[in-house]
Structure 1
Amino acid sequence: MSVITAGRTAVVAAGPVAARPVPVGRVYRFELVKLLSQWRIRLLLLACWTAPGLFTAAVAQQGTLPSDTLFGRWMHATGWAGPLVVLGFAGSWALPLLTSVVAGDVFAVEDRLGTWRQLLVTVRSPRRIFAAKALASTTVIVLLVAGLAASGTVGGLAAVGDQPLVGVDGHLLRPSDAAVSVLLAWACALAPTLALAALGLLGSVLLGRSPMGLLVPALAAVAMQLAQLLPLPVALRLALPGYAFVSWNGLFADPARLDELLIAVAVSLVWAAAATTAAWLLFVRRDFTTGSEDGAGRRALAFAVLPLAGLLALTSGAVWPATPSTGSGITQEKVQRSVATAFAHLYRLQTEQLHRPAVTEDQLRATAACQRGDGQVDPEGPGNDWRCVVTWHLPGTDAPGTAVYQLDVASDGRLTADGDGPKDVNGYFLVHTPTGDAPNPLWQFDGQVGLLASPAHPLDPTKE
């Protein structure tokens, strides 16, 4: 009897054995299965892996092209233009909505269902719950982005073929180079997508069961798009994570303009880390003992918003030394250089298509003289009142050739040139290409002005 009593005393003295938290890997698999079991997530996966391919294949068979989208005018010429058109659309609309549906609801759903207590009792670690939910939502988002890229590429190649791609400066990329650049462009687009997803996590933690948490990534994306339309200083423009949805076009120049792209990707990753950290701090400090807790209040909202505002100021200050001035970064010299470079590349392409004697860009020595508002406006900044006169020289001729273009230069540096004569140079007429008849490549073309200070292009005849 004494032995039994002593044994019981020993057990009581030792106390209950502490339950160990469930490993993150098991919680991650559980959260991933929960996400993939939702019908809306399954529909999104199906749409992302099929719709872009059907879209690019359908557009390739149409007579009109989405020429207002970068690379849209080349969708009849090469299959590699399709995934880039999809990327341009996805960066503006699809990816913000996808991150809203996935990351913006991953925590709020537990509030609506009232399952926090059961989940905490099972996992026994708020930190591991947060890590598992963040990793699961990131996995689903990566699958959605991969589906958009793969579907758009397969659809474009199946409908048009593996042809060379015309870059943003008019030079031709071989199919292998185009494939690498397209892959890198979609990989870089993951950075701002993760930044929006992190904002979605933060909104989901802050707002609890409120449906407003779903709108945080979408509203943030719209706000950044509106900001990009404004004549902001270059430093502030690059300090916003949404600029990475635009800067990938530097991969399709020769040489590639990586300065803006690398800065934009780095800024996006910093925003993703900062928003995720803020969401984690708020989540682990949350009181789950009361069922009336519905996310964070005003104090938590200020705790999340103020650090992000400070981050914007910090990233702007960090980017400032790389910018040439406090202006838009669009100058007369840059516009002239971009137009002359694109014209020289496309003139060579036109010569090949018309089966004329071969000519090189160095032989052409193309230059451009650009003004705004017939010389009544300072030649800098965005606007649709740019006018350029391009001059070039053909081997064996003394008189130079001239062509006039009307330009629309956007605030992000994208320019659209519309030929204004002479008709036999930059007017509308069809030329025969390996993929069929296509408009004259010098009739209308896109270009890109680098917003950051950069050395003169190798084809720029004004360089020293």
Structure 2
Amino acid sequence: MTAANVVADNVVPTRRVPVSRGYRFELVKLVSQWRIRLLVLACWIAPALFVAAVSRQSTLPVDTLFGRWMHATAWAGPLVMLGFAGTWALPLLTSVVAGDVFASEDRLGTWRHLLVAVRSPGRIFAAKALASLTVLLLLVTGMACSSAVGGVLAVGNQPLVGLDGHLLTPSDAAGQVFLAWACALAPTLALAGIGLLGSIALGRSPMGLLLPALVALAMQLAQMMPLPVAVRLALPGYAFISWNGLFTGPRQLAPLLIGIAVSLVWAVTATVLAYLLFLRRDFTNLTDDGSARRALLAGALPLAGLLAATVAVVAVTTPATGSGIEQDKVQRSVATAFAHLYRMQTDQLNRPAVTENQLKATAACTKGSVADGAEGAGNDWRCVVSWHLPGVATTGQAIYQLDVTPDGRYVADGDGPKEVNGYFLVRTPVGDAPNPLWQFDGNVELLATSPKG
């Protein structure tokens, strides 16, 4: 036996560190950072304080969806918080967590040490991706639970008025609220995948850290534009908006499901691109920490192609065209919401009970000078709602001015008669109460093509 054979027989084969151990190591590294600890603390405490404080104010954020109901129910606060989180908080959180999880190794120069310890770039990637995902789930869960607790303690577990005016029982409202927060995880994962890709492709560059927030800002600006429905639904951040459909009756699930599916496709695609780019990295070169050319070829161009593909798929598979905001849809939505809220006002005033079928509410809407075939967003919508009361020959009418946003949400502002929707308070047997018919929020289903029974 030769000396070489003896040495070979005595060599103990090295074992790669399992992903579970690498995951625990990366998770400890993340939560040991003071900024991550501060974010966790803020997400589990600040929403409760915010919801409790705003719910007790005399002035409510009526320009925010469900903000006008924060005095009435605990479940409006978490939805207001969700709207804020989808616009600002979650994109920034993904930037801090996922957008920095790889770039931090570049700044510290610890890649070679980490590779020697783990012995597998693939396992390093999996451990870091799973650790960042865990922290993001912890942050999102904290925001949802904290805002709900703050609302319950400040206001109480009361029914919630949906976007079409119907009442959700406290248990139904709680379930829908937490389901809406769960749906927001899909676009959060998409931004997290983009954050991983930017962290690897751009390395020490601050752009890698800011990439998820910049992408989210671009998507928000796009949603404010008069885009076709197919383009709007194909953006990965649409699920931050389409959870509104959970609070109508029946629920508007088609846009929400499309938004979730698109977000998950983006999350998987961005993560796979980040993984492939990470495997091709030269860890022996300390200066190789990313480049703009690499980010363009391995990140921006594939994601641009994905956007074009999703737009084409959504355009082929969905029936709606144009903006999706059409006269018939607006009229049905306004009439339905008015009928539900009229019943609520009737209960407040202790008038004889009436049902939506008895009211037979209808709405005739125009947009500017267009009386027939009006469509599109704008603040120049005007609707005249008509209804009938049992035993009363005269037809009741009320006027509303509508401000319809490009994503289908609208605010209906009462414009008379004063005894119906002219004042923001109504006199009830137990004192003044908010008039539900004075102003109300609504939602036009962009994909609806026929009246709902």
TM interval, shorter chain, is over 0.9
**Could you tell me how far 1:301 is from its partner in structure 2?**
2.5
CA contact (8 A) 1:160 1:435 kept: no
SS in 2 for 1:391: strand
| Number of the residue aligned with 2:397 | 402
| Number of the residue aligned with 1:200 | 195
**Could you tell me how far 1:105 is from its partner in structure 2?**
0.3
**Could you tell me how far 1:433 is from its partner in structure 2?**
8.0
Counterpart check, 1:294 vs 2:289: yes
| Number of the residue aligned with 2:419 | 424
Q: How does 1:84-95 map to 2 (within 5 A)?
A: 84-95=79-90
Q: For residues 359-388 of structure 1, give each alpha carbon's deviation from its aligned partner in whole angstroms, at most 9, with x where no partner exists.
A: 000000000000011337961000000000
| Number of the residue aligned with 2:261 | 266
SS in 2 for 1:105: coil
SS in 1 for 2:336: helix
SS in 1 for 2:301: helix
Distance 1:322 1:422, change over 3 A: farther
Distance 1:312 1:425, change over 3 A: same
Residue of structure 2 aligned with 1:237, choices 214, 221, 232? 232
The whole-number CA distance in structure 2 between the counterparts of 1:392 and 1:322 is 37
The whole-number CA distance in structure 1 between the counterparts of 2:317 and 2:331 is 22
| Number of the residue aligned with 1:461 | none
**Could you tell me how far 1:210 is from its partner in structure 2?**
1.3
Structure 1: gaps spanning 5 or more residues: 1-5, 459-464
Counterpart check, 1:132 vs 2:99: no
| Number of the residue aligned with 2:167 | 172
| Number of the residue aligned with 1:278 | 273
Task: Name whichever of 270-279 and 290-299 sits farther off.
Answer: 290-299
Residue of structure 1 aligned with 2:443, choices 432, 439, 448? 448
Q: How does 1:70-219 map to 2 (within 5 A)?
A: 70-219=65-214
Letter in 1 for 2:130: L
Distance 1:217 1:429, change over 3 A: closer
| Number of the residue aligned with 2:383 | 388
The whole-number CA distance in structure 2 between the counterparts of 1:322 and 1:65 is 40
SS in 1 for 2:399: strand
| Number of the residue aligned with 2:354 | 359
Residue of structure 2 aligned with 1:31, choices 26, 35, 43? 26
Counterpart check, 1:226 vs 2:221: yes
Q: CA RMSD in A?
A: 1.7
CA contact (8 A) 1:117 1:288 kept: yes
SS in 2 for 1:374: coil
Letter in 2 for 1:212: M
**Could you tell me how far 1:437 is from its partner in structure 2?**
4.5
Residue of structure 1 aligned with 2:46, choices 34, 46, 51? 51
The whole-number CA distance in structure 2 between the counterparts of 1:280 and 1:437 is 61
**Could you tell me how far 1:456 is from its partner in structure 2?**
1.5
Task: Name whichever of 369-378 and 264-273 sits farther off.
Answer: 369-378
Q: How does 1:282-361 map to 2 (within 5 A)?
A: 282-361=277-356
Letter in 2 for 1:228: Q
Letter in 2 for 1:208: G
The whole-number CA distance in structure 1 between the counterparts of 2:318 and 2:428 is 41
The whole-number CA distance in structure 2 between the counterparts of 1:30 and 1:191 is 26
CA contact (8 A) 1:170 1:345 kept: yes
Q: For residues 281-309 of structure 1, give each alpha carbon's deviation from its aligned partner in whole angstroms, at most 9, with x where no partner exists.
A: 00011010111111245145212111111
The whole-number CA distance in structure 1 between the counterparts of 2:451 and 2:430 is 34
Letter in 2 for 1:192: P
CA contact (8 A) 1:123 1:129 kept: yes
SS in 1 for 2:413: strand
The whole-number CA distance in structure 2 between the counterparts of 1:325 and 1:251 is 20
Q: For residues 306-347 of structure 1, give each alpha carbon's deviation from its aligned partner in whole angstroms, at most 9, with x where no partner exists.
A: 111111111111111343343100000000000000000000
Counterpart check, 1:247 vs 2:242: yes
Distance 1:83 1:250, change over 3 A: same
CA contact (8 A) 1:188 1:265 kept: yes
Q: For residues 416-447 of structure 1, give each alpha carbon's deviation from its aligned partner in whole angstroms, at most 9, with x where no partner exists.
A: 00000000001114247899853200000000
Distance 1:352 1:18, change over 3 A: same
Letter in 1 for 2:95: S
Counterpart check, 1:415 vs 2:387: no
Letter in 2 for 1:422: P
Q: TM-score, with normalisation over the residues of structure 2?
A: 0.97
The whole-number CA distance in structure 2 between the counterparts of 1:434 and 1:132 is 62
CA contact (8 A) 1:427 1:440 kept: no
**Could you tell me how far 1:395 is from its partner in structure 2?**
0.3
Distance 1:160 1:316, change over 3 A: same
SS in 1 for 2:184: helix
CA contact (8 A) 1:391 1:403 kept: yes
**Could you tell me how far 1:16 is from its partner in structure 2?**
3.7
**Could you tell me how far 1:156 is from its partner in structure 2?**
0.4
SS in 2 for 1:265: helix
CA contact (8 A) 2:200 2:289 kept: no
SS in 1 for 2:238: helix
The whole-number CA distance in structure 1 between the counterparts of 2:148 and 2:429 is 20
| Number of the residue aligned with 1:256 | 251
CA contact (8 A) 2:62 2:68 kept: yes
Counterpart check, 1:66 vs 2:40: no
CA contact (8 A) 2:329 2:448 kept: no
Task: Name whichever of 53-62 and 299-308 sits farther off.
Answer: 299-308
Letter in 2 for 1:372: K
CA contact (8 A) 1:385 1:406 kept: yes
CA contact (8 A) 1:372 1:378 kept: no
SS in 2 for 1:158: helix
The whole-number CA distance in structure 2 between the counterparts of 1:322 and 1:351 is 43
The whole-number CA distance in structure 1 between the counterparts of 2:343 and 2:88 is 36
CA contact (8 A) 1:77 1:435 kept: no
Structure 2: gaps spanning 5 or more residues: none
**Could you tell me how far 1:14 is from its partner in structure 2?**
4.1
